[in-house]
């Protein structure tokens, strides 16, 4: 499979996931709802030190919501629209909080 074919397949899969988010409710057990404002922790740990930290963001979806998975981990992985940065995936639920 060449690069262009793989890119086209990945793009189609991603577009299908965005349709799933738009057309279905979030899965039960998801802590933060799409559109909810959250604060990203100041310290994300060494493995995520390259991710934006300490910023405000809007929840877009969880991995479970977008890709239809049912495992516990997928419910706690969030795609965020980070203020002044843009959309970034995947933040752990424990790294997010409701702002004061």
Q: Which strand (E) or helix (H) includes residue 78?
A: strand 77-82
pLDDT in tens, the chain (100 residues): 799 999 999 999 999 999 999 999 999 989 999 999 999 999 999 999 999 999 999 999 999 999 988 888 888 999 999 999 999 999 999 999 998 7
For 3-97, CATH number? 2.30.30
**pLDDT on residue 72:** 85
Whether the model pTM is above 0.85: yes
The domains of the chain are located at 3-97
**pLDDT on residue 13:** 92
Q: Of 38, 43, 76, which is closest to residue 59 (Cα–Cα)?
A: 38
**pLDDT on residue 60:** 97
């Amino acid at each position: 499979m060449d690069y262009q074919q793989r890119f086209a397949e990945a793009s189609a899969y991603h577009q299908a996931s965005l349709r799933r988010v738009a057309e279905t409710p979030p899965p039960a057990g998801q802590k933060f709802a799409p559109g909810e404002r959250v604060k990203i922790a100041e310290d994300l740990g060494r493995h995520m030190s390259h991710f934006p930290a300490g910023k405000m963001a809007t929840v877009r979806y969880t991995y479970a919501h977008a890709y239809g998975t049912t495992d516990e981990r997928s419910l706690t992985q969030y795609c965020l629209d980070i203020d002044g940065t843009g959309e970034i995936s995947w933040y752990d639920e424990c790294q997010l909080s409701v702002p004061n």
